[in-house]
A = this chain, B = another copy of it.
Amino acid sequence: MENSRFEKQLTYILEIDKEKNILRQTHLSGHGRRENDAEHAWHMAIMIYLLKEYANEEIDVAKTMMMALIHDVVEIDAGDTYAYDTEGLTTQKEREEQAAERIFGLLPEDQKKELRRLFDEFEANETPEAKFAHAMDNFQPLLLNNFNDGEDWRTHGVSKTQVLKRHSMTGLGSKEIGEYSKSIIEDNVRKGNIKDE
């Protein structure tokens, strides 16, 4: 075992443990505590595997799962930016770029490049894999939030326009899940969980 290579891999593996402490705005089902990045990514990866039949285009499942598993790693440095935090969103790209350089940079060069490529591909949202991963990134909290009677939407007082905009890209990955997401949103507008504006 080449020690320095293995040590770099272990350094990265220990570093990403911190994702378990990065809290999102979504709450666990049953009106639970806030979800963290690692749990969210785990859930997304399983959803990718189970729902792949609804992807618009054929996807490389392993690649899409790995993309999901690592896509939030930059939040270790950059923090979670809430989807409806317009101020935070303006500086998000720059903060996340620096974080990606530092964190993937802990890995041996070949794996740094490999994960960085995967991360950039996710961000660019152009390939079938990135589009489906993004669809799951949006659909997973939608499911939890809907199951919790729209608790997170009510707390933040978000509007239908905002929610529809956020979920507008889901259809790029899966037309069917995009349509289903819209029906969930409409349903929550009717119930008064999302403001009709």
Give the residues in chain B near A42, CB-CB below 8 Å.
38-39, 41-42, 45, 69
Q: Counting CB contacts under 8 A, is A164 at the interface? A: no
CB contacts under 8 Å to B, within A129-178, are: 143-144, 147, 176
Contact A28 B35 (CB under 8 A): no
CB contacts under 8 Å to B, within A84-119, are: 107, 111
How close is A100's CB to chain B, nearest CB, in angstroms?
16
Assuming the contacts A10-B143, A13-B47, A66-B49, asked whether A29 and B38 have C-beta atoms less than 8 A apart, the reply is: no
Contact B9 A50 (CB under 8 A): yes
Contact B9 A51 (CB under 8 A): yes
**Which residue of chain B lies nearest to A44 when distances are taken between CB atoms in the complex?**
B42
Interface 1/0 per residue, A26-49 and B, CB below 8 Å? 001100100110110111011101
Give the residues in chain B near A70, CB-CB below 8 Å.
46
The docked-state distance in angstroms from the alpha carbon of A5 to that of B107 is: 41
The docked-state distance in angstroms from the alpha carbon of A181 to that of B122 is: 34
Interface 1/0 per residue, A2-14 and B, CB below 8 Å? 0000100110111
How close is A59's CB to chain B, nearest CB, in angstroms?
12
**Which residue of chain B lies nearest to A10 when distances are taken between CB atoms in the complex?**
B143
A42-B45, A49-B66 are known contacts; what are 13 more A-B pairs with Cβ within 8 Å? Answer: A1-B176, A9-B50, A14-B143, A17-B43, A18-B29, A20-B28, A38-B38, A39-B42, A46-B66, A61-B62, A62-B65, A65-B65, A65-B66
Cross-chain pairs A/B with CB under 8 angstroms, 5 sampled: A14-B29, A18-B29, A20-B32, A46-B66, A46-B70
Which A residues fall within an 8 A CB radius of B? 1, 6, 9-10, 12-14, 16-18, 20-21, 28-29, 32, 35-36, 38-39, 41-43, 45-47, 49-51, 54, 61-62, 65-66, 69-70, 107, 111, 143-144, 147, 176, 179-180
